[in-house]
Amino acid sequence: MKKALIMILTLLGIALLAGCGSEEQTEGKLVSEGVNTKCQVEYKDYKGQHGDIFLSKGDKVAVISPSALPDREQTDRTIRGLKDWGYEPVEGEHVCDKTRTMEDILSDLNWALEDKEIKGIFCVRGGYGSSEVADRIPAGLIRSSNKVIIGYSDITVYHSMWTVNGVPSIHACMSETFNTLENDCAVAEENILKGKIPSYKCENGKYYRTGKAKGVLIGGNLSTFSSVLNTAYDCTKTERPYIIFFEDVDEEMQQIHRYLTILKHAGVLKNASGIVFGEWTEFKAEKGDYSGNSRGGKFKSVADMIQRQFLDDIDVPVAFGFPAGHSDRNYPLLMGEEAELTVNNDGFELECGADR
């Protein structure tokens, strides 16, 4: 009886600590918006002009890592998973080298683009380095190969390149698709590869701007996306309206503010027809020099900071908390294609492939 009482009191103490932590701890939980956002997913067959990029059972899929080096386990997991989905994965020559040169990375990527038997490109991991590779890809090769690339995080650079070249791409989980990714997200990724395009109906968080927008879906990882501005593969340099999506991981509040300020000064935010913010995961709750106290009171979350600092002169629909990014809930998005965003007081809807 005594042991049971001690256990009850211990559990009660843990619960109280969880609910009554410091302000920084509470904010650290709040900023991971999107992790717990509930979304309903519906699928429709793609009927746009790029139907030939999607995959069929038995297709050969290149397994490469055109960013950072993965390990053997990540690569093997990806190969097994693609086989389970009915594809024939073909590993690049330099995916798991102990060390690689730029020529090695380009060799794998150029092979995946040029080989007529390869129908799609599945990236094993992100990391860092894609912007260096992008500067070396032959002009027109992406357009002429017309192959879908799948990945996210540092692969954001490639999404922008594909969009500039008029080829859709898929922002989705990589090797973790076949490990920790939640089942409904994995199902959505498996479906989108086959041309069954998901549309999402999600609940709102505390922050949002109502309205309706249509445009090409662009974006990805916020810090990575800032490196594409004013390059040959800057997908914001378009006469077409665009809806922009952002997520990030392991960044401080002031870093997120810095990246968004770069985009603001470049006119990227103001020129968007709609904005979707995803997850801010592994966020450092200690905000350091940029707590918000010098901006009218402490920021309660990343969304609070964005609302107060970046949306005053922007009259477009804005959604917060879409479950895509660096967590176990990472729904896929069809990039470089028309999308529709509708935000109202009851929630928001994001329809991918809206020009079908």
Specify burial of residue 242 (Cβ count, 10 A radius: 0-12, 13-18, 19+): buried
Q: Is residue 4 part of a domain?
A: no
Q: Per residue in 74-107, pLDDT tens? A: 999 999 999 999 999 999 999 999 999 999 999 9
What is the per-residue pLDDT across 157-180, written as a single tens digit (0 to 9) for each? 999 999 999 999 999 999 999 999
Cα distances from 291 to residues 24, 29, 147, 253, 341, in angstroms, run 10, 16, 44, 8, 31
Domain extent, residue 264, equals 28-352
Question: Strands 169-171 and 148-151, how do they pair?
Answer: parallel
User: What is the tens place of the pLDDT at every residue in 105-127?
Assistant: 999 999 999 999 999 999 999 99
What CATH number has the domain bearing residue 131? 3.40.50.10740
Overall number of domains in the chain: 1
Residue 188 placed within a domain: yes
Classify residue 3: in a domain, yes or no. no
C-alpha span between 211 and 54 (Å, rounded)? 31
238 residue type, one letter: T
Q: Is residue 231, in this structure, part of any structural domain at all? A: yes
Res 9 pLDDT > 60: no
In a domain, 154, yes or no: yes
Residue-wise pLDDT for 246-272, tens only, equals 999 999 899 999 999 999 999 999 999
CB 20 within 8 A of CB 115: no
210 belongs to a structural domain: yes
